[in-house]
A and B are shown apart, each in its own frame.
Chain A
């Protein structure tokens, strides 16, 4: 199975500052169709996960442009610019290339 390693696992952030979360798959996640199925999810306390970013860098509808995804190969990043109180929660990366599709351990973002 592809292991998705996230860091850090805990990320205290000052309101208005930026935050970055790293995600490193244990192998290449480029699919045979040429796409890289690397997605990012946000799970606020008590809620279901919500997709923010799909295929590395495509922001979902309604997601603030403070969220951005980047990367390639085995090194991917979710960046949150100007963190707001509503961004508190756990963030997961996920690969949908190799079955079983797997998630990272999660990064807990909270406010300092």
Chain B
């Protein structure tokens, strides 16, 4: 069965950096578009970024463009999100999600807290 396990969250100061990882299993990772979606505490959902199986196609929400970078390592069945210049408003649970446009499978999420 499909499993997505995020890691790398934690407490970071404003202006700092963090790298999230997502370990995927149960499907052909290299064939799948992958995504990062976040949910601020008590708030709704925001789609941040997607990446194609070959990494040739990526896109970002305006709120993170220029600060966050999505990447993947198909040999390791892993998805990443490099987050730089973090702000208080980036505080959220970050989800790794399989499938562009359809969001069929979600991980359990990892909490990122940006605070001094």
Contacts and interface: CB of A to CB of B under 8 A. Distances in A.
Interface of A: 31, 37, 39, 41, 48-51, 54-55, 60, 92, 94, 96-97, 99-106
A37 B102 contact: yes
B101 A97 contact: yes
Interface in B81-97: 95
Interface class of chain A by DSSP:
loop
Nearest to B93: A48
Interface residues of B, number: 18
A100 B61 contact: yes
Contact of A54 (B59, B102, B108): B102
Contacts of A48: 95, 106-109
Contacts, number: 51
Contacts of A100: 47, 59, 61-62
Interface class of chain B by DSSP:
loop
A78 B104 CA distance: 17
Contact of B103 (A31, A51, A97, A105): A51
Given A48-B95, A103-B45, A96 B106 contact: no
Contacts of B11: none
Contacts of A51: 102-106
B44 interface: yes
